[in-house]
């Protein structure tokens, strides 16, 4: 009777595992659906009043022409252009990490605004502006605040903040009414799109008239089509990738649930052999036995589906919160409405998973011979047989997978790498029963020293390797994926930092956005700022031809820099060959990237450069680390040689170094003050670039961790179920141990240790495989980087394994309680 | 003498275990079932005693209570001078570990451990060091010397039961309780096990209390006590299979309660 109750408990636990998977699936799909719905909702709202949306190179004359069409109420042009922002006293405002600021054409009419207002109102009169919240926060501006907007020539124009808006800062951080926009950005830029509102006129007619007016210069579509376009744009890229990942991991959770569920039914059927045999003895047919087991799974599945559906709704809401916390730009309020589709999915997955996984065990149940009812004591299930086919196939898969991973790393072929990773995981599933037994004994080796408790735990867990493997595989997969992620992220972080350091051994780079010359005297002004230690102007000419004897000629930019500045500021440890001291008129310094391209000249070799004005032969002074992104330039000569080759070339960039000990905010403000008057100037900030890389990687880790967490939760429930079933089978043994003087605490300890050994084995196996695949994956994806560093974050992976051990302990608590309840007198009952 | 409950005559030797007015009830359904109903009996140290009785007479329950496996409803149980009544689970566990050895009908060896490990298990559980001389002596007496490396699955039923006997002996317990130790064995293997138990009493001065329904098995004992309806109803010293059969037949004829 108590066994029946315990079995019911195991089935309940099983339904939890399935419910978790169902929850993740319906959560993932619910979230995806909700995001899609919200995106479409928002774009539809934005385009609700738009009768026609024209795109092309459009002018003010087009705007006026459309306005003159009959029935047209609002004509809203769209366009972006560089603009500067300053306080009324002229102090420049810039956004760190954003080289320059863009102005958008603001709408005065709420029907055509592209922005949500956080405060204030839309601009009504000329001289009123919208500012983005990021700017307002930085400058401390409120609606009504006076500001200065700078035009392309750096002249300030007084404006008043009408409202503060949110949205993507790439789509502009200051909004000006079309006429003001013209004044600041300049008429020559034109408009990229025009939206037309014409209430009372059929939309198709408006489109026709606008199209007729603009002719072939523009494409005209309906507001609804525009909304579709916007939605597709927003759902493309990162958001879609995220949703895809979400679904992928949800299916992983389902796969894990199938394994756990199959396991459970197998054991439950094995335990009920006598009962089933008795049923057969009293005349139950095979079909009836089969139906009984399947009916049980149907019940469990339905329960799981219901629980999972509720969990999915909760997860969808949690997912919204997570996305917002991760700063993923998702639209909508995040409200979750239960849909029939989601409920059907939950039902199908829940019942499908459970019933499918019960079919084989149910079939096995029909094979129970009626005579088994008369057999004495049921033998303990001890299954050590592992087919040769399995071992051979598994080893073959492993060799194929690891070989493929190696090949993909060599060829940098991501799809081959992904395939190889999947093959390795398949090999793991096949080899699990072979590997897990010895692995458990190895992982559990230290338990020997924990006395009898440890010794028993060590042998207990490894007793049925096939089942132990099935239970731990899921966790192995999960931990493996996290390890891949950790290795990839750590490598990206170190490689990224090295790339930033290599590409930006400078703190700031000032360039002209449109590629033109820098204002005269800017370098001197920057050099005079006390917060800045050094300002090095760089001039640049496009060489028609660079060639060395026996190499491939190429055309590339050549930079002229003061040799003393190069010696002062180019880090000595970047020199691969030669010496910077040799940079003087008549010599050239190359980056490894440029040198590789033209035939790897050694220091001392001669290079012929055709600059257009003249051709000169220069000698290589040194080769330094870096590629074409090096801020000094890939090919460095003295300013005198540059003038000889190209004639007079204006300064195109200024490299800046902060004074030692100056806070980043102070040096950045000094730069902003100097360039504030020139909206076309872009400021690259290497500290911000580093922060962005770190932020991206942190987001990747957090997102990936959350997703993998789903699969791991199911895996842990699987371990709890497996341990529970194993405890049920061994209740007699535990009773004997209790009769022989094993205390409850000792029994508790044994089971807890079994859980820890099981989960740690899975974690160690997963971490080993994950690190190998992670290294291969990193080489595959990042192999092209010059400064690739493959990093194995030993500390983080160690923490991961410890966390898995702790989780295993938690998973063992319930089964341990069951075991500790075994009555010692039960041992004598036989 | 039959059907007249009486105080059993005191055993010749000092008692190793004793029950006084022992009552054990099981809550089952509306009315509790009295499995042991006021049994008083004592077991002399260094003696081999068999408990016999028809099915449902309460002999297994009596054994459980004597061995500290079950809490008693009323009355008293003494084991090696310790009063077991009212001891908490942890204390009872300690008593079982240090003062009691068990031989079960179903052998109950741990399948993952070798014979040697099974025999030494109680010492390991208690964290005690085995005495190699005693181990050698016990395994020799039970003729297990060449079977020590085998797992239970590789041993015959009789061999498994002798391993279980060795496991009980290894701690030199105050009393060994055996519950139908020959129930799963054929007569030859059963005889081997019973001889081993008798040898452990004769040669190792061990105390053994055995529950059995087999008169041939009980004949190996020094003394047989008969149980019916939860009470001691008869006993015989230096029993033979014939005497035991006769007594059992009389008990059966007397039928239900007196």
Of B19, B11, B73, B69, the closest CA to residue B45 belongs to B11
Which pLDDT value is given to residue A163? 92
Is the CB of B183 less than 8 angstroms away from the CB of A382? no
Model confidence at A51, in pLDDT bands (50, 70, 90)? Answer: confident
- Decide if A825 touches B, using CB distance below 8 A: yes
What tokens does A667 get?
């040096």
Distance CA A594, CA A626 (A): 8
Q: Find the mean pLDDT for residues A745-750.
A: 83
Which pLDDT does position A600 carry in this prediction? 84
Say if residue B9's pLDDT is above 50: no
- pLDDT at residue A327 is higher than 90: no
Distance from CA of B182 to the nearest CA of A (A): 12
pLDDT at A830: 45
- Looking at the complex, report in whole angstroms how far the Cα of residue B94 sits from the nearest Cα belonging to chain A: 6
Backbone angles phi, psi at A106, to 5 degrees: -80, 155
Rounded to the nearest angstrom, the minimum Cα separation between B4 and chain A is 30
> Does any CB of chain B come closer than 8 Å to the CB of residue A575?
no
Nearest CB neighbour to A825, from listed B70, B93, B126: B70
pLDDT at position A586 over 60: yes
Q: Compare CB distances from A733 to B110, B126, B180 and report the shortest one's residue.
A: B110
CB contact under 8 A, B97 and A741: yes
Average pLDDT over residues A124-141: 90
A739 contacts chain B (CB < 8 A): yes
Q: From CA A452, how far away is CA B121, in angstroms rounded?
A: 8
Q: Tell me, what's the pLDDT at A10?
A: 66
Q: What is the mean pLDDT of chain A?
A: 79
Whether pLDDT at A451 is above 50: yes
What tokens does A392 get?
């051979």
The conformational region for residue A15 under phi > 0 = left, psi -120 to 50 = alpha, else beta, is alpha
Q: Tell me the per-residue pLDDT of B181-236, one tens digit each, with 9 for 90 and over.
A: 888 888 888 898 899 899 889 888 899 999 988 888 888 999 999 988 888 888 88
Which of A74-78, A282-286, A714-718, B93-97 has the highest average model confidence (pLDDT)?
Answer: A74-78
- Whose CA is closest to A609, among A575, A580, A634? A634
Chain A and chain B share a number of CB contacts under 8 A equal to 83
Distances (CA, A) of B114 to A436, A811, B119, B120: 22, 30, 9, 10
Kindly give, in sequence order, each residue whose CB lies less than 8 Å from that of residue A26, ignoring residues fewer than 6 positions away. A308, A309, A311, A312, A313, A315, A316, A342, A345, A346, A349
Beta carbons of A121 and A167 less than 8 angstroms apart? no
A232 touches chain B (CB under 8 A): no
In degrees to the nearest 10, what's the CA dihedral of A513, A519, A524, A527?
Answer: -20
CA A779 to chain CA centroid, Å, is 18
pLDDT band for position A826 (cuts 50, 70, 90): low
Torsion A67-A71-A73-A76 (CA) sign: negative
Distance of CA B242 to the CA centre of its chain: 22
List the Cα angle A708/A713/A719 in 5-degree steps: 125
pLDDT tier, A384 (very low <50, low <70, confident <90, very high otherwise): very low
Mean pLDDT of B76-88: 86
Check residue A334 and give its pLDDT: 52
Assign 3-class secondary structure to A374-441.
HCCCCCCCCCCCCCHHHHHHHHHHHHHHHHHHHHHHHHCCHHHHHHHHHHHHHHHHHHHHHHHHHHHH
Are A639 and A560 spatial neighbours (Cβ–Cβ below 8 Å)?
yes
Closest among A546, A560, A520, A562 to A643, alpha carbons compared: A560
| pLDDT for res B29 | 65
pLDDT digits (tens, 9 = 90+) for A85-110: 888 887 778 777 677 788 998 888 88
For B127, the closest of A451, A823, A827 (CB atoms) is: A451
Mean pLDDT of A775-802: 79
What pLDDT score does B12 carry? 47
Token reading at A346: 């939950």
Could you read off the pLDDT of B171-181 as tens digits, one per residue? Answer: 889 899 998 88
Cα-Cα-Cα-Cα torsion A529, A534, A539, A545, nearest 10 degrees, comes to -160
Chain segment A265-291, per-residue pLDDT in tens = 777 777 677 677 777 766 677 787 788
pLDDT of residue A158: 92
Counting runs of H as helices and runs of E as strands, what totals does chain B give? 8, 10
Cβ <8 Å between B127 and A824: no
Alpha carbons A711 and A708: distance in angstroms, whole number: 5
pLDDT class of B8 with cuts at 50, 70, 90: very low
Tell me whether B135 touches chain A (CB under 8 Å). no
Q: Identify the closest residue of chain B to A740 by CA–CA distance.
A: B97
- pLDDT score for A378: 42
Residue-level pLDDT at B51 = 92
Beta strands A191-197 and A52-58 are antiparallel
Interface check for B160 against chain A (CB to CB < 8 A): the answer is no
**Which pLDDT band, with edges at 50, 70 and 90, does B255 fall under?**
low
Q: What is the pLDDT of residue A238?
A: 60
pLDDT category at B135 given cuts 50, 70, 90 is very high
Average pLDDT for A147-174: 86
Q: Which helix (H) or strand (E) holds A152?
A: none
List pLDDT tens digits, range A227-272.
Answer: 888 888 777 656 666 666 667 667 767 777 777 777 777 777 776 7
pLDDT > 80? residue A445: no
What would you report as the CA-atom Rg of chain A, rounded to the nearest whole angstrom? Answer: 35
Coil vs helix vs strand at A369 = coil
Residue A391 Cα to chain centre, angstroms? 36
pLDDT score of A381 more than 60: no
- Cβ-contact A587, A621 below 8 angstroms: yes
Range in A334-338, A611-615, A791-795 the model is least confident about: A334-338
Residue A61 CA to its chain's centroid (Å): 45
Q: Is A372 on the interface with B (CB under 8 A)?
A: no
Alpha-carbon distances of A165 from A118, A142, A180, A269, rounded to whole Å? 5, 11, 18, 63
Phi, psi of A241 (to 5 degrees): -60, -45
* Between A279 and A145, residue with greater pLDDT: A145
> What CA–CA distance (Å, rounded) separates A623 from A769?
39
- So what's the ipTM on this one? 0.72
Residue B7 has pLDDT above 50, yes or no: no
Give residue A509's pLDDT band: very low, low, confident or very high (50, 70, 90).
Answer: confident
Give the pLDDT score at A282.
Answer: 67
Looking up tokens 């009898």 gives: A452
**DSSP designation for A659:** P
Q: How far is A699 from chain B (nearest CA, A)?
A: 48
Please determine, for residue A69, whether its predicted confidence score (pLDDT) is greater than 80.
Answer: yes
Q: What span, in angstroms and rounded, lies between the C-alpha atoms of B62 and A551?
A: 101
Q: In terms of CA atoms, which chain B residue is nearest residue A742?
A: B125
Query: Which residues on A lie below 8 Å from B64 (Cβ)?
Result: 825, 828
The CA distance from B49 to B219, in Å, is 10
Percent of all residues in chain A with a pLDDT value above 90, rounded to a whole number: 4
The answer to whether residue B10 scores a pLDDT higher than 50 is: no
Least confident of A55-59, A365-369, A745-749, B156-160: A365-369
Nearest chain B residue to A461 by CA: give it. Answer: B112
Residue matched to tokens 């049921």: A378
pLDDT in the model for residue A829: 56
The Cα–Cα gap between A175 and A135 comes to: 12
Residue of A nearest to B96 (CA): A741
Identify the pLDDT of residue A175: 92
Write the DSSP symbol of residue B232: E
Q: How many C-beta atoms lie closer than 10 Å to residue A403's C-beta?
A: 12
Asked whether the beta carbons of residue A743 and residue B93 sit closer than 8 angstroms, the reply is yes
State whether A382 and B153 contact (CB < 8 Å). Answer: yes
């Amino acid at each position: 009777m108590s066994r029946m109750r315990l079995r019911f408990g195991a089935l309940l636990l099983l339904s939890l595992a399935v419910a978790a998977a169902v929850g993740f699936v319906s959560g993932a799909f619910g979230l995806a659906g909700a995001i899609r719905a919200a995106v479409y909702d928002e774009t539809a709202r934005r385009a609700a009043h738009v009768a026609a949306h024209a795109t092309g190179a459009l002018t003010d004359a087009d705007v006026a022409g459309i306005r003159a069409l009959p029935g047209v109420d609002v004509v809203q042009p769209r366009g972006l252009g560089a603009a500067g922002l300053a306080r009324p006293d002229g102090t420049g405002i810039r956004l760190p990490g954003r080289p320059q600021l863009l102005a958008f054409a603001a709408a005065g009419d709420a029907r055509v605004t592209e922005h949500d207002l956080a405060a204030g109102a839309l601009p009504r009169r000329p001289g009123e502006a919208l500012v983005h919240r990021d700017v307002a926060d930085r400058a401390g501006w409120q609606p009504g605040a006076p500001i200065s907007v700078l035009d392309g020539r750096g002249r300030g124009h007084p404006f008043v903040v009408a409202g503060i808006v949110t949205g993507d800062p790439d789509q502009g951080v200051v909004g000006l009414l079309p006429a003001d926009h013209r004044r600041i950005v300049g008429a020559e830029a034109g408009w990229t799109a025009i939206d037309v509102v014409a209430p009372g006129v059929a939309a198709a007619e408006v489109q026709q008239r606008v199209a007729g007016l603009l002719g072939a210069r523009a494409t005209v579509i309906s507001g609804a089509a525009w909304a579709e376009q916007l939605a597709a744009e927003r759902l493309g890229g990162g958001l879609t990738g995220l949703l895809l990942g979400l679904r992928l991991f949800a299916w992983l959770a389902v796969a894990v649930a199938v394994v756990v569920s199959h396991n459970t039914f197998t054991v439950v059927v094995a335990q009920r052999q006598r009962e089933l045999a008795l049923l057969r003895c009293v005349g139950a047919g095979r079909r009836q036995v089969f139906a009984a087991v399947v009916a049980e799974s149907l019940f469990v599945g339905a329960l799981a589906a219901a629980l999972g559906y509720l969990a999915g709704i909760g997860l969808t809401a949690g997912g919204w919160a997570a996305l917002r916390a991760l700063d993923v730009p998702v639209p909508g309020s995040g409200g979750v409405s239960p849909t029939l589709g989601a409920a059907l999915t939950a039902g199908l997955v829940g019942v499908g998973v459970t019933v499918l996984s019960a079919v084989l065990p149910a079939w096995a149940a029909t094979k129970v011979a009626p005579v088994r009812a008369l057999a004495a004591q049921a033998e303990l299930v001890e299954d050590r047989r592992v087919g040769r086919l399995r071992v051979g196939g598994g080893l073959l898969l492993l060799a194929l997978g690891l070989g493929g991973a190696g090949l993909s790393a060599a060829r940098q072929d991501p799809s081959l790498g992904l395939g190889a990773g999947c093959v390795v995981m398949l090999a793991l599933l096949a080899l699990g029963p072979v590997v897990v037994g010895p692995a458990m004994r190895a992982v559990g080796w230290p338990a020997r020293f924990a006395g009898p408790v440890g010794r028993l735990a060590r042998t207990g867990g490894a007793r049925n390797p096939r089942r132990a493997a099935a239970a731990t595989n899921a966790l192995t997969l999960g931990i493996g994926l996290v390890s891949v992620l950790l290795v990839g992220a750590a490598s990206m972080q170190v490689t990224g930092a090295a790339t930033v350091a290599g590409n930006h051994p400078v703190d700031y780079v000032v360039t002209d956005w449109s590629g033109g010359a820098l204002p005269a005297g800017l370098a001197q002004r920057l050099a005079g700022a006390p917060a800045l230690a050094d300002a090095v102007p760089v001039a640049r000419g496009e060489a028609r031809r660079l060639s060395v004897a026996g190499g491939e000629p190429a055309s590339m930019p050549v930079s002229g820099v003061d040799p003393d500045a190069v010696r002062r500021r180019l880090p000595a440890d970047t020199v691969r060959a030669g010496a910077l001291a040799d940079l003087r008129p008549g010599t050239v310094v190359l980056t490894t990237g440029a040198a590789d391209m033209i035939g790897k000249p050694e220091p001392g070799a001669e290079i012929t450069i055709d600059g257009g004005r003249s051709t000169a032969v220069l000698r290589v002074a040194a080769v330094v680390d870096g590629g074409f992104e090096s801020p000094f330039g890939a090919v460095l000569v003295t300013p005198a040689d540059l003038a000889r080759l190209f004639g007079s070339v204006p300064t195109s960039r200024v490299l800046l170094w902060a004074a030692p000990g100056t806070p980043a905010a102070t040096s950045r403000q000094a730069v902003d003050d100097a360039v504030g008057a020139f909206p076309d100037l872009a400021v690259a900030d290497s500290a911000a670039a580093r922060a962005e890389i770190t932020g991206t990687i942190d987001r990747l880790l957090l997102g990936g961790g959350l997703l993998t967490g789903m699969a791991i939760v199911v895996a842990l429930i699987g371990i709890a179920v497996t341990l529970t079933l194993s405890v049920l089978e061994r209740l007699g043994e535990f009773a004997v141990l209790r009769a022989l003087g094993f205390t409850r605490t000792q029994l508790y300890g044994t089971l807890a240790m079994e859980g820890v050994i099981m989960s740690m084995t899975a974690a160690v196996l997963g971490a080993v495989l994950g690190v190998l695949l992670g290294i291969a994956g990193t080489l595959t994806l990042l192999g092209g980087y010059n400064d690739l560093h493959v990093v194995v974050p030993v500390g983080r992976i160690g923490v991961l394994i410890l966390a898995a051990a702790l989780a295993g302990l938690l998973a063992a608590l319930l089964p341990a309680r069951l075991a500790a309840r075994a009555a010692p007198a039960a041992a004598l009952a036989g | 003498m039959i059907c007249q409950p009486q105080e059993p005559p005191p055993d010749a030797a000092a008692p190793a275990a004793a029950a006084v007015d022992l009552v054990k009830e099981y809550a089952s359904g509306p009315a509790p079932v009295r499995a042991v109903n006021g049994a008083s009996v004592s077991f002399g140290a260094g003696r081999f005693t068999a408990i016999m009785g028809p099915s449902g007479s309460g002999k297994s329950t009596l054994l459980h209570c004597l061995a500290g496996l079950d809490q008693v409803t009323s009355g008293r149980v003494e084991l090696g001078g310790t009063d077991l009544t009212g001891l908490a689970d942890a204390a009872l566990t300690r008593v079982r570990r240090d003062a009691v050895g068990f031989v079960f009908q179903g052998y109950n060896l741990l399948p993952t451990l070798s014979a040697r490990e099974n025999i030494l298990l109680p010492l390991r559980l208690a964290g005690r060091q085995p005495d190699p001389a005693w181990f050698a002596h016990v395994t020799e007496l039970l003729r297990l010397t060449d079977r020590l490396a085998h797992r239970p699955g590789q041993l015959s039923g009789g061999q498994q039961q002798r391993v279980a006997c060795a496991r009980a002996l290894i701690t030199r317990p105050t009393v060994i309780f055996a519950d139908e130790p020959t129930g799963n064995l054929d007569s030859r293997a059963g005889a081997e096990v019973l001889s081993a138990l008798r040898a452990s009493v004769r040669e190792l001065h061990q105390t053994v209390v055995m529950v059995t329904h087999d008169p041939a098995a009980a004949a190996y004992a020094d003394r047989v006590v008969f149980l019916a309806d939860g009470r001691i109803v008869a006993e015989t010293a230096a029993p033979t299979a014939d005497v035991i059969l006769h007594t059992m037949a009389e008990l059966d004829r007397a039928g239900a309660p007196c």
